[in-house]
């Protein structure tokens, strides 16, 4: 599975951005800095679709009583972070049939060996790999279908999604080759670079910040109060040293490196500028400054998020409109896919 140097070789269609988040719990600072802030920037320069990937969520059991409200919550977080439905399409994955249909076609293109190499599956399945759902195994194939049902060319995601994007390109390329249609699908390019692509747990600088970490103190949720944010940063693991004056000294201090990276991403400063500001200070000074900055940045978002959650009708309207628009983009692409594959009636 070679990474493609020239992603858009042969592809002549328009540039389009696609990304998604699973409705499986409150969003955290990693989601915000790794993905949401990029969504907000990209909507000004590109046609964008931002999906709530509920079909991905059900690869592990989801309580049917909660799934719809969890979906609404992610939509509300997109809106609260500044995604504008006048500029970008926001919709739930399960409302647009192209996802499941193309995922099936791609199940027949992707190779078992490719999926067996997916590290996220290995992490999620752990020792249980015989007992998890078939859907969890095929999850990255559905992800490729999400992107390619819209012929999206660019995908803003955090670092952890890099391997899934490589798989999407391999599927696109094999489809183009197998059916003799060079350039039919673009080879989607991940947009990962930039500050915040990999925010780590506040309790363990070697693990990524994650919704599924059992310790709530490991992450800052977008819905945390100012007090909780301050407390979590105060408790964040660091060491007895001071803030150093250069990044080289952080090579084996992952927790400190992470906090400096979070400060940089939230403030728009470079890591080195953050160090220049705090070098020689203890964490008794740095952590409260970081907490104040995080509260300043996140409070307006959590206020708006709660306003949207109080007005579910408004969010539902955005989702229904978005689903209609997404359907209109994917329908002609799916008609072409059926033709290329030679199905009856196509
Ligand atoms: P998920 O919560 O797994 O649905 O992820 C939604 C988006 O947030 C994806 O683009 C992830 O790559 C991104 N993301 C999740 N966790 C982190 C993290 N700790 N640091 C940076 N980005 C993240
Ligand atoms: N797998 C992604 C995650 O866990 C979510 C996702 C599903 C996605 N489909 C996508 C991201 C398509 C980008 C594009 O974060």
pTM for this predicted structure? 0.94
CA distances from 306 to 91, 219, 233, 291 (A): 19, 19, 23, 21
Chain segment 13-32, per-residue pLDDT in tens:
999 999 999 999 889 999 99
Catalytic annotation, pick one of 211, 231, 297, 325: 211
Q: Is 208 a residue of the active site?
A: yes
Minimum mean pLDDT range among 77-81, 251-255, 287-291, 317-321: 251-255
pLDDT of residue 6: 60
Average pLDDT rounded to a whole number, residues 200-205: 96
Residues 236 and 254: their CA atoms lie apart, in Å, by: 12
CATH of domain 3-197+312-341: 3.40.50.620
Confidence class of residue 127 from pLDDT cuts 50, 70 and 90? confident
| Best mutation site among 20, 36, 119, 154 for ligand 2 pocket (most ligand atoms within 8 Å of CB) | 20
> Which regions of the chain carry the CATH code 1.10.240.10?
216-307
Share of the chain above pLDDT 90, in %: 89
Residue nearest (by alpha carbon) to ligand 2 atom 14: 19
**Average pLDDT score, the chain:** 95
Q: Is 124 a residue of the active site?
A: yes
| Best mutation site among 30, 40, 164, 194 for ligand 1 pocket (most ligand atoms within 8 Å of CB) | 30
Minimum mean pLDDT range among 51-60, 90-99, 248-257, 324-333: 248-257
> Which regions of the chain carry the CATH code 3.40.50.620?
3-197+312-341
Domain 216-307: CATH superfamily, name plus number: Tyrosyl-Transfer RNA Synthetase (1.10.240.10)
Give the ligand at the shortest distance from the Cα of 192.
1
Q: Is 235 a residue of the active site?
A: no
User: Which structure tokens are listed for 18?
Assistant: 């696609």
- Ligand 2 center to 296 CA (angstroms): 28
Confidence class of residue 2 from pLDDT cuts 50, 70 and 90? very low
| 48 pLDDT above the threshold of 90 | yes
Question: Residue 196 CA: which ligand 1 atom is closest?
Answer: 21
Chain segment 136-147, per-residue pLDDT in tens:
999 999 999 999
| 1 pLDDT above the threshold of 80 | no
């Amino acid at each position: 599975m070679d990474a493609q140097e020239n992603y858009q070789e042969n592809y002549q269609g328009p540039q389009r951005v696609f990304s998604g988040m699973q409705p499986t719990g409150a969003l955290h600072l990693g989601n915000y800095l790794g993905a949401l802030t990029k969504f907000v920037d990209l909507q000004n320069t590109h046609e964008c679709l931002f999906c709530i990937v509920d079909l991905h969520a059900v690869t592990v059991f989801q309580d049917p009583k909660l799934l719809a409200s969890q979906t609404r919550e992610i939509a509300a977080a997109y809106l609260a972070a500044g995604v504008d439905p006048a500029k970008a399409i926001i919709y739930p994955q399960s409302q647009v049939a192209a996802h499941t249909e193309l995922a099936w076609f791609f199940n027949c293109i992707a190779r078992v060996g490719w999926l067996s190499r997916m590290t996220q599956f290995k992490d999620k399945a752990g020792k249980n790999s015989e007992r998890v759902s078939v859907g969890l195994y095929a999850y990255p194939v559905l992800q490729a279908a999400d992107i390619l049902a819209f012929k999206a060319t660019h995908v803003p995601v955090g670092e952890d999604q890099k391997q899934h994007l490589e798989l999407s390109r391999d599927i696109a390329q094999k489809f183009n080759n197998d059916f003799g249609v060079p350039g039919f699908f673009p080879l989607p390019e991940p947009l990962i670079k930039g500050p915040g692509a990999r925010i780590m747990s506040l309790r363990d600088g070697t693990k990524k910040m994650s919704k599924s970490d059992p310790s709530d103190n490991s992450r800052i949720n977008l819905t945390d109060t100012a007090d909780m944010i301050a407390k979590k940063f105060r408790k964040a693991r660091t060491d007895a040293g001071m803030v150093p004056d250069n990044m080289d000294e952080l090579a084996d201090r992952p927790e400190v490196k992470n906090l400096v990276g979070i400060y940089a991403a939230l403030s728009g400063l470079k890591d080195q500028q953050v160090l220049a500001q705090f070098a020689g200070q203890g964490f008794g000074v740095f952590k409260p400054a970081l907490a104040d900055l995080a509260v300043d940045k996140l409070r307006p978002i959590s206020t708006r998020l709660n306003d949207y959650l109080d007005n579910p009708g408004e969010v539902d309207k955005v989702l229904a409109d978005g689903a209609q628009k997404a359907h209109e983009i994917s329908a002609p692409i799916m008609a072409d896919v059926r033709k290329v594959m030679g199905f009856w009636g196509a």
